[in-house]
Amino acid sequence: MFAFPMKFAERMKNMLGSEYPAFETEFESYKTYTGIRINPLKKGARDAVLNITGELEKVLWCGDGFYADKNVLSGEHPYHLAGLFYFQEPSAMSVVEVLNIQPNDKVLDLCAAPGGKSTQAGAKLGSGGFLVSNEIVSKRALILAENMERFGIANAFVTNETPERLEKRFPLFFDKIIVDAPCSGEGMFRKEPQAVLHWSEEHTYSCADRQILILNSAARMLKAGGFLVYSTCTFAPCENEGVIDRFLDSHDDFDIVPIRKLPMLADGCGGWAGSTRDFSGTKRIFPHKCKGEGHFIALLQKRGEALAAKVHEPLSRCPSDVISLYREFERTVLNINLDGEFELFGENLYLKPFGLGDIDKIKIVRCGLHLGVCKKGRFEPSHALCLALKKADFKRSVDFHCDSMEIEAYLRGQTLPSDLSGWICVCTDGYPLGWGKASGGVMKNHFPKYLRIKG
């Protein structure tokens, strides 16, 4: 039997009333849901995935979301490695949907790892605007960067900073901000039972104090007229309505915007102790009502009229010989010319999104699209560059079915025979998967070693 902490159970009984037995029964079932979100940046990805899985049940609050079976799709499936889909808890897919991201928006995901909401936001941006994805924990920031690269998002900037340092660099800068705040994780009790053992009422209040600080930094980076979505995966009112109440007490230029886009989700509770504010415009996901774990979402707007954006002059700090080296690679290997601001970090060449400006004094994990490495008069393309392009962008490519022996050999790091020469894009069912370099009838494998299938 699933055993809730006593104080948690008492609070939930007060919150849910007659619905509490259904809530408790749902947790006792230990049933969890695996969600996948299809990548709209990969044309035809939905049909390709559904061709393998058969019809899947849709996640009602996300147009690209489906419930899936991990026995059919895994992290080692070629389609996952090619960025056609992303594993994401179904409830978490709801947050970005309420933000109404437009192609030219400047978006910040302030607590972004492992990357579910950032990949979702980046896909909505397409090739316009740009996204800054931040994660304060270094190891998690590397995982975030890897997920962004696999999803083929070229106009994203991954940082490893505190919110306080970011707010000094980006005052009144962003059109949309995502704050998926670190929380007590009550909504994940069913999926992560060990979290029950670490729960305490005191911890929920300490989380709320940290969440307020993060929101304060986010507020200073949001333009007038801009939108901020705040979310947690906890049921605790002190971390949800309570945090929003405290935030609005000290930010009278913000309003709660009623979330009307997701009518299938439960409205937030009607109030918060000691407050006269109405929180019914927020949303909650309860596991006994929806097929997903617990979640809370609030949409806020900053009042005022946004000032005209400053025109940013492109920076040209990259040596011309390095740019020439890349352009020569582009001329001989690709069918396209990429546009943006070139940035060189050591031997690593990046294409930075226009409009980002100076990035000095910020801990950078990924500065836009990693093009590759320049060393000893030669250019070696990155895995990220391959995944950011489509098959037609390459002069030379080979294509194998996802279940083929060739793809299995490639993912294991083996060489393949080839009658081509030079850099080659290896595709699976038309989707770029990685690089190979051929000469003398053999294609050397350049699929990253850390991604290769073992065993």
Active-site residue set: 233
Q: Which long-range contacts (CB under 8 A, 24 or more apart) does 263-270 make?
A: 264/60, 264/61, 264/290, 265/61, 265/94, 265/290, 265/297, 266/290, 268/240, 268/241, 268/296, 268/298, 269/15, 269/237, 269/241
Q: Distances in Å between the alpha carbon of 86 and those of 146, 149, 454? A: 12, 12, 21
Among 63, 34, 38, 32, which Cα is nearest to 51's?
38
Tokens of 409: 């050999």
Strand pairing category for 156-159 and 130-134: parallel
Among 372, 367, 404, which Cα is nearest to 145's?
367
> Whole-angstrom Cα distance, residue 237 to residue 208?
10
CA angle 102, 338, 383 (to 5 degrees): 90
Instruction: Please give the single-letter amino acid code of residue 249.
Output: D
Q: Which long-range contacts (CB under 8 A, 24 or more apart) does 450-454 make?
A: 451/81, 451/383, 451/411, 452/411, 452/412, 452/413, 453/76, 453/408, 453/411, 453/412
Alpha helices in 54-87 (DSSP H): 78-81
Number of residues that make up the chain: 455
Tokens of 294: 């617990």
Contact 70, 64 (CB under 8 A): no
- If 0-12 CB within 10 Å is exposed, 13-18 middle and 19+ buried, where does residue 276 land? exposed
State the residue for tokens 């699933």.
2
> Whole-angstrom Cα distance, residue 62 to residue 96?
9
Q: Distances in Å between the alpha carbon of 370 and those of 176, 311, 379, 430? A: 24, 25, 12, 22
